[in-house]
Amino acid sequence: MNQMTRIDPALETKMANAIRALAMDAVEAAKSGHPGAPMGMADVATVLFNRFMRVDPSDHAWPDRDRFVMSAGHGSMLVYAIHHLLGYDDMGMDQVRAFRQMGSRTAGHPEYGHAKGIEVTTGPLGQGITTAVGMALAERMAHARWPDLTDHWTYVIAGDGCLMEGISHEAIDLAGHLRLGRLIVLWDDNGITIDGGTDLSTSTDQQARFAAAGWHVQAVNGHDREAVAAAIEAARADDRPSMIACRTVIGFGAPNKQGGHDVHGAPLGADEIAAARKQLDWPHDPFTLPEDVTAAWAAIAARGAQARASWAARLESSANRAAFLAAQRAPDAQALRKAIAEYCQRLTQARPKVATRKASEMALEVVNATLPQTIGGSADLTGSNLTRSKGMQSIRPRDYAGRYVHYGIREHAMAAVMNGIALHGGFIPYGGTFLAFADYSRPAIRLGALMGVPVVHVMTHDSIGLGEDGPTHQPVEHLASLRAIPNLQVFRPADAVETAEAWEIALTSQGPSVLALSRQNLPALRVEDEDTNRSRRGAYVLRATPTSRDVTLIATGSEVEIALAAADLLRADRISAAVVSAPCFELFARQDRAYRQGVLCDAPRIGIEAAIRQGWELFLRPEDGFVGMTGFGASAPAPALYAHFGITPQAVAALAKQLIKGEDEWR
């Protein structure tokens, strides 16, 4: 066994019952919550932490700690109870008492950054197990680079809901293929969901499913702690990812409610809690813990502190120390800024006419040469997304030294795995797919934005401009839906310079970013040698007017070219049109009022984007115009589509004339 001291079975029982007591008391005090999973999995969690986990509450973020992910995030009180028992200084009993209350760290579902030791925000089922795959992959990649400084495990508690959600199939398939042997999933196999028994909705043999994906699979009685410990030990000895089916009784210890769906997501009630205290031989008042139990949990923290101190000593003497520490820090913004600035100078001279997906590939040659911690990838669209720069080696089973992940046709898993890689630390992930498939990735993108993790989502084929593949692949509402996510930066660059600038901003930002990139070639629009990253302001005047402007044309991406052509048409009619490029709405919204007003001015405005108008309120007033899409696209060559849907310089010029003087006056 991997136990540092002899196990006292009676004391370990009390340690598990402490989790149960805190869970049922906190849920009762809140009058809401989920006591069933924490009470059912208390034995498994106690064995895991008492005999295997290496964490140090006094230094909760040390890089070589084991990771614990509560994928069944509704069982959050298991996490909070353990953290209180381990002595995390931000998880006092006041926080446990304030479960689910305003301002507390004990939110309804675990939230990354709200309390120490929470590795990932969970709650939407399936996200936790998939993010954990990213953590386990990052551990293997780090081990390949710094083997003397990286040697830890990723443990997951997952429920039936986590395994029913489709993302779990993508996750277990990828993890099994890559043989992520440092990943152990403990399945809370209690046979219960909110509606009732799992036989209402599924007949899947989960053990066979995991085995088919290449996992090491075992099944145990989740209340037999020695069996659980033996299974974890066996899992650690296998080089495949492991799933342990822990057969448990939901709400274990509540004599009249355990084993039923009523205990899943509701307080037990005073009478049942009193009966549970008697059943568990727990004669203590609510939120009260005996000294022997707190001492036993404190011993786990002390062992973790010793492990962390030993690791710190290895770090000081390691030849890999400098490279390892550099990888843990934020990317070298100054070096990247200098490299991108020099590259943009070359672009203004070369003036390439390329699709922005190609411009992204060109920029990545600079990015990946400057930042060694970037990890690329694609959902089986490498040749279309152009996310692989020269010399990037593929990550393969048992070979994790490369920098490129083949995620397969798994957009949802790719987004969540990248969250896990970023959360693990040491790497900056980016991955590609088509913008039309952003909806497959959206739940994980949303969680990444909620957590503020630095992930770059490269999404190409960004409009009807992709042409003949038709409306199934032509995104029209996706920009609006992504811009609606708080804390997510959405970039739609207009040429190679703006694309490079977008990469610089995305890689030096705290949260996630989306780069929406064209399939069709776009001309070079930024042809002046400039020292500043103009995209950093979100929107800027690309072409000013020599006199006061009559109209402001605001466009993104491929439509900036259309705006410039429309301005030329208007100039022929002695109408002064300023052209504003708006590569990132979110950055423009952060600018002060004076800057925004200086860019937009008071003249009539027209927004131009081959997408729906929703979200353009940042730029457009009700009386202003918009040239774009009002429905789905069609299958045809790109020029024909733009003409068919009226996204042309002529249409923009005509609308400008209507807004300025009225349609009748221009006839």
Catalytic (active-site) positions: 411
What is the DSSP track for 371-408? Answer: -TTEEEEESS-HHHH----TTPPBPBTTB---SEEE--
Residue of 120, 118, 112, 111 whose CA lies nearest to 83: 118
User: What is the amino acid identity at position 484?
Assistant: A
CB count in 10 Å sphere of residue 85: 24
| Residues with Cβ within 8 Å of residue 661, at least 6 apart in sequence | none
- Which tokens sit at 280? 């568990």
**Three-state SS letters, 230-285:** HHHHHHHCCCCCEEEEEECCCCCCCCCCCCCHHHCCCCCCHHHHHHHHHHCCCCCC
- Which tokens sit at 108? 């309804």
DSSP tag of 534? G
DSSP tag of 330? P
Query: Partners of 543 in the beta sheet?
Result: 579
For 383-402, give one letter per residue: b (16+ CB within 10 A) or e: ebbbbbbeebeebeeeebeb
- Report the C-alpha gap between 564 and 79 in whole angstroms: 56
Q: Pseudo-torsion of CA 44, 47, 48, 50, nearest 10°?
A: 150
- Report the C-alpha gap between 418 and 422 in whole angstroms: 6
